[in-house]
Amino acid sequence: MRKATTQEKFWSSKFGQEYVSRNTFDPKELDQLYISYFGISRSRLNKEFLGNLKINNVLEVGCNMGNQLALLQKQGFKNLYGIEIYPEAVEQAKVHTRGINIIQGSGFNLPFKDSYFDLVFTSGVLIHTNLKDVKKLMKEICRVSNKYIWGYEYYHPKHKIINYRGNKNRAWKGDFCKLYMDYFPHLKLVKKHCLKYLNSDNIDEMFLLKKGK
C-alpha cells in the first residue's frame, strides 16, 4: 500500500475542514473573487482557454467542494468528474452539485484507466505538493489524460516555499507549466496567461498543455 505524503495527511486533517469552511460554492461568488483579485472572472478565463476545444469529459484533481466543476457545468461542459482527498468536502460537493461525479481519493492514485479523460486539471493543488512528490502527481494526471492538461497555480520563476496560513512546508510557488514540460517532453504548450494580483506583486498562472503523439 502506498504511504500517504505529509501534504495528504495535512489536507485530510482538521485543516481540510477549515479550508472547506472558508471557501464559497456559488459560481457567481467565485467569478467575483477572481474579478477582485485580477480584474477578470474565472468564467472568462475558462472560455479563453477551453472555448474552442472539443472536450467530452473532464476530471478535476483536488476538487474540494466542486465549485470549479460547477462553474464549468454552468458554462455547458458535460461528463464532469472530481476527486478530493478530504471526505467532508466530498460530502459537501454531493449536497451542492447535481450531475457531477465526485469521489473521495488521492491524485497520486487515480482510479481511472489510461487516457480516460479529454481534459484533466488542477486549480491550486500542485502548489500544496512538495517538489519531491509533484512529479508523481503530474505523472498520474498525464496518465489519465487523453488530450489536455489544464492548470491554475501560484507562479514564480524559481520554485520556492511560502508560508501558508502559519504553516511551513505546506505551499510552494513555481513554474508548474515548465515542470510539466521538463518532466514529460511529449507535452506541448497550447496557451498560458500570467495573472498579476491587483493589490500585490504576486502572480498566478493558468496554462493549457496538449499531449503529443
pTM of this prediction? 0.89
What local confidence, expressed as pLDDT, does residue 11 receive? 47
Write the DSSP assignment of 130-154 as a string of letters. -HHHHHHHHHHHHHHEEEEEEEEEE
CB atoms within 10 A of CB 157: 10
pLDDT, tens digit (0-9, with 9 covering 90-100), for 90-116: 988 888 888 999 999 999 999 999 999
Name, in order, each residue with C-beta under 8 angstroms of 120's C-beta and a sequence gap of 6 or more.
58, 59, 60, 61, 141, 144, 145, 148, 149, 150
The answer on pLDDT for 199 being more than 50 is: yes
pLDDT, tens digit (0-9, with 9 covering 90-100), for 154-174: 999 999 998 876 667 679 999
Residue 192 backbone zone (phi > 0: left; psi -120 to 50: alpha; other: beta): beta
What local confidence, expressed as pLDDT, does residue 4 receive? 62
Q: How confident is the model at residue 18 (pLDDT cuts 50, 70, 90)?
A: low
Torsion angles phi and psi, residue 79, rounded to 5: 50, 60
Hey, which residues does 207 pair with through a beta bridge? 151, 192
How many CA atoms lie less than 13 Å away from 141 in the CB half-sphere?
31
Name, in order, each residue with C-beta under 8 angstroms of 115's C-beta and a sequence gap of 6 or more.
143, 144, 145, 146
What local confidence, expressed as pLDDT, does residue 24 receive? 58
What local confidence, expressed as pLDDT, does residue 164 receive? 76
What local confidence, expressed as pLDDT, does residue 103 receive? 95
CA distances from 9 to 12, 15, 76, 78 (A): 5, 10, 35, 32
Element (H, E) at 43: helix 42-50
Q: In the chain, what percentage of residues exceed pLDDT 70? A: 85
